[in-house]
Structure 1
Amino acid sequence: MENQGFWEKYKKLIKDVVLDYQYLVMLDEADIKIEAEREDASLPSERSQAITNLKIAAGLMVGEHYGWWFQDTDVYKWIETAAYTLENFDDEALKTRVDSVIDIIEQAQDEDGYLSTYYQLRAPHLKYKELDRSHELYNAGHLIEAAVAYAKATGNETLLEVSKRYVNHIMAHFGVGKIEGADGHQEIELALIKLYKYTNDEKYLNLSRYFIDVRGKDPLFYNKQKEALGQDPFTNLDYLQAYDQPIHQKEAKGHAVRMLYMMEAMADLALHQNDQAMEDAVMTLWDDIVKRKMYVTGGVGQTVHGESFADGY
């Protein structure tokens, strides 16, 4: 890829400054005070511990998990960014650093393929049992995206094999007659299509389609999971875009990031499966966003309440 023009200085900034700094943040070695997003003593905002969590899961350190359900994805997003950087620049030191992190991730993975340190270290008995909030498949999605990007950039498929093992674990637990629901936070849907395009294995495309189609099929799915755990069953289905199946949804509402991830997967499925109904559905949502809910700068999901779409204008 040619390095010139408007983006050149930003690409170099990421290579020379940002990736190093983010790595130190994940190691809790950066000179930074992390501010909580709001006054709430329960927020795990004092440090990152993202890499340490993986080391503990790998048996390389002793300790307890710290952070959110999705803490692992900071590492995966960093690897994905490094992969795009390595497509533009030769940087053996960066590659060596990423390879060392991938080695930790590989060791952190359970023998059966499962990989989500929050549940591995805190609550293994709750794996896949609180999907409205668990982010387990969201984590898997960012793992897949990082793995595909790094394999394309470097030819190193170690992380790709880790992601495939996790997907195999997911396929063993989700589907008709198994867990008939989707993660509360969309992401794996679009990632599986990237994995399909890289491997040409249609099982990944089909699994993406399953997660799109099963979302909202049983609006009580998350309530039932909560009731089984003795929890308050209320679930904000608008927030999760799970009030109806995506192909029947007519307006963009709820958490904006989740909606846009879902729409990306829907668009890809429409293309790769030649599905006109899916294309029509995603274009209906697109029109609602562009014509009624987009800010003048192109931003969406402007409200502080739930990172959600505001009412249309």
Structure 2
Amino acid sequence: MPFGSVQVTAGFWAARQESNREVSLRHGYEMLEKAGNFHNLRLAAGKASGPYRGMHFADENVYKWLEAMAWEMGNAPDDGLRQLADEIIDLIAAAQQPDGYLNSYYQVVEPHRKWTDLDFGHELYCAGHLFQAAIAFRRALDDDRLLHVANRLADHIASVFGPGKREGACGHPEVEMALVELYRTTGNEAYLKLAQFFIDQRGKRRMRGLGANGPEYHQDHVPVREAKEVAGHAVRQMYLVTGVTDLYMETGEPALLHAVERLWRDMTATKMYVTGGIGSRFDGEAFGEAYELPPDQCYCETCAAIGSLMWNWRLLLLSGEGRYADLIERALYNGILSSPSLDGRHYFYVNPLMLRNGRYVRLSSNVPQGETLAGRPEWHSVACCPPNVMRLLSSLGHYFVTANDAGLQIHLYGTLNITTQLPDGQPVSLFVETNYPWEGHIHIVMREAGSSPWQLSLRLPEWCQSFNLILNNHHMEYPVLENGYIKLTRRWKPEDVIELNLAMPPFLLAPNPRVDAIRGCVAIQRGPIVYCLEGCDQGAPDNLLDLQIDVRQPLVTHWCENLLGGVVAIEAGGYLLDPQPWQNALYRPYEGIPHTSRRKLRLKAIPYYAWGNRGIGSMRVWIPTA
């Protein structure tokens, strides 16, 4: 749907968008200035002197931040944000070379090595993020200044790469999806052909990998159409399959669709955390083997979860199947939202599902192995995640609702104003009001309905076991259910009222027994939100290793207005084990295992996304059963 058709007006996500707008985007500007990202562009533009600062791919963070700025200013004008954005757009345009090339590192530090290190140089990766920022300014603000820069850079890339020219692809996929989107925006088929060229270059095993990680690290281990499992660097894998899905949407090549469907099944059946996070290994920031999902050593990079969301969004657009929206929701409320702090100024890079006493292998790229972290860092030496979160939150309205020839589809629930035209030209307007995700009641009022019948589709989430539907005060006993959606087709009238009530009791999740790291454990979920225990809530020493949950006792919910910005907390029956009978022995003969005494304890669980906002102590999602 056109940008601006859906406005998030109140509730859970509106509060986070407001924090993103008022705090995070301005904080991002300050951090990019402090880290030297803007300084590097000034060097390339001849407007400053001194050494280059930071990573050689530092430009990407500027472009992601700019993309977030565009979407946010499209949501509502802001003179302060506009002034900051104008300054940086002018700087980027000034830094671009006459031939269209643009990359501050290679222009300033190694001008003789442009396009010579495709494996690690990130030139095409940075270009892709510039393209996406430029498209955002066009769509949200009808501002083409950055698009002119993007077109010149894309034309330069097309003059260098392609059949009969230079071969190879970027070691970090991203430009592929950006080129397809640039084609959609400009109509220039050269960009679509270039995206296909880069995708077809993969799998030739020419890239040198990283350390012990082979070509799978760069997604060069197998041709795209032959891939059978997600592997290698998780963010790279997600960005590649997103680009492949985009290419299929434009070309209709069946082999591409078959490949992404195979990879989706592999990821969701064997390699995804309950939070929607992905990437089991610190080594290579990579996927592990099937069922290799340790809660305490997982990586679950924020960018990987965002990449999964982008991929599933495209699969949802292709298929209309609710399973993709279910995964979007799981990642959004859990594996992504756990990154930003409640104050909007601090971010996790990785998102573990268990910590022991506040110590972890590494919670941030800034923190060496084994160090204790007091909280989320305000920025990172590799700062890909913070501006990625910013651009997602500012563009969140994109993901709630779609339109097709049949009518409207509501995929995610929030308090929304929806105003658009159906493909047949009928104007429609709806107001959605809800306290989701804390309550399952969704109230929809038709304001403008058009003159012909059309279909309103409401997603029935995977976690919802029962619901009721009321239309104009009449219960609908047997609504049509298809592909995870309730389908309502009628000639709608202004002031029609739809009420959907999703039962939202808390429940326990058990893992597949092949996930041996958490065998004998359960997790707590309510609605779309996965819960965790933090040591500070348990009335026990700040160590969760001695806790068990009693699965026979009911889970009890409490609304806590003053806890973590307002959350539903969940209480469960449990036990605290006495470790003393083991007498500090690490192993004992099975026949001689001592009787371990325990005392009853009430366990208190909070939403996983909110952990670590009261200091970093012990935390766990998966709880051993009694």
Q: TM-score range, shorter-chain basis?
A: 0.7 to 0.9
Pair 283,183 (structure 1): closer, same or farther in 2 beyond 3 Å: same
Name the TM-score, length of structure 2 as normaliser.
Answer: 0.44
**Structure 2 residue 286 is the aligned partner of structure 1 residue 308:** yes
Higher share in strand: 2
* Partner in structure 1 of residue 59 of structure 2: 72
* 1-structure distance, mates of 2:138, 2:43: 26
Name structure 1 gaps, 5 residues minimum. Answer: 29-47, 227-231
Deviation at 1:203, TM superposition (A): 1.6
Deviation at 1:233, TM superposition (A): 11
2:117 aligned to which of 105, 127, 130: 130
Q: What secondary structure sits across from 1:27 in the alignment?
A: helix
Q: What secondary structure sits across from 2:65 in the alignment?
A: helix
Q: What secondary structure sits across from 2:139 in the alignment?
A: helix
2:233 aligned to which of 233, 255, 265: 255
Deviations 1:128-171 (A, max 9, x none): 11111000000000000011001211111111110111111111
* Partner in structure 1 of residue 131 of structure 2: 144
Contact 1:69-1:136 at 8 Å conserved across structures: no
Q: What secondary structure sits across from 1:128 in the alignment?
A: coil
Contact 2:158-2:190 at 8 Å conserved across structures: no
* Partner in structure 2 of residue 32 of structure 1: none
Deviations 1:202-239 (A, max 9, x none): 221111111101112x323x35xx9xxxxx99982011
Name the TM-score, length of structure 1 as normaliser.
Answer: 0.87
* Partner in structure 2 of residue 295 of structure 1: 273
Q: What secondary structure sits across from 1:7 in the alignment?
A: helix
**Structure 2 residue 202 is the aligned partner of structure 1 residue 219:** no
* Partner in structure 2 of residue 41 of structure 1: none
> Which residues in structure 2 correspond to 1:230-241 (within 5 Å)?
236-241=214-219
**Structure 2 residue 262 is the aligned partner of structure 1 residue 284:** yes
Deviation at 1:6, TM superposition (A): 2.2
Pair 10,98 (structure 1): closer, same or farther in 2 beyond 3 Å: same
**Structure 2 residue 157 is the aligned partner of structure 1 residue 170:** yes
* 2-structure distance, mates of 1:299, 1:143: 26
* Partner in structure 1 of residue 196 of structure 2: 209
* 2-structure distance, mates of 1:234, 1:167: 34
* Partner in structure 1 of residue 26 of structure 2: 20
Over the aligned positions, Cα root-mean-square deviation in angstroms equals 1.7
* 2-structure distance, mates of 1:241, 1:165: 27
Q: What secondary structure sits across from 1:306 in the alignment?
A: helix
Contact 1:248-1:281 at 8 Å conserved across structures: yes
* 2-structure distance, mates of 1:178, 1:196: 21
* 1-structure distance, mates of 2:224, 2:151: 26
Name structure 2 gaps, 5 residues minimum. Answer: 1-5, 292-626
* 1-structure distance, mates of 2:213, 2:108: 26
Q: What secondary structure sits across from 2:284 in the alignment?
A: coil
Contact 1:65-1:121 at 8 Å conserved across structures: yes
Q: Number of aligned pairs?
A: 285
Deviation at 1:241, TM superposition (A): 1.2
List structure 1 runs of 4+ shifted beyond 4 angstroms: 232-235
* 1-structure distance, mates of 2:141, 2:87: 14
Q: Which protein has the larger Cα radius of gyration, Structure 1 or Structure 2? A: 2
* Partner in structure 1 of residue 167 of structure 2: 180
Higher share in helix: 1
Deviation at 1:200, TM superposition (A): 2.1
Percent identity of paired positions between Structure 1 and Structure 2: 40
> Which residues in structure 2 correspond to 1:47-196 (within 5 Å)?
48-196=35-183
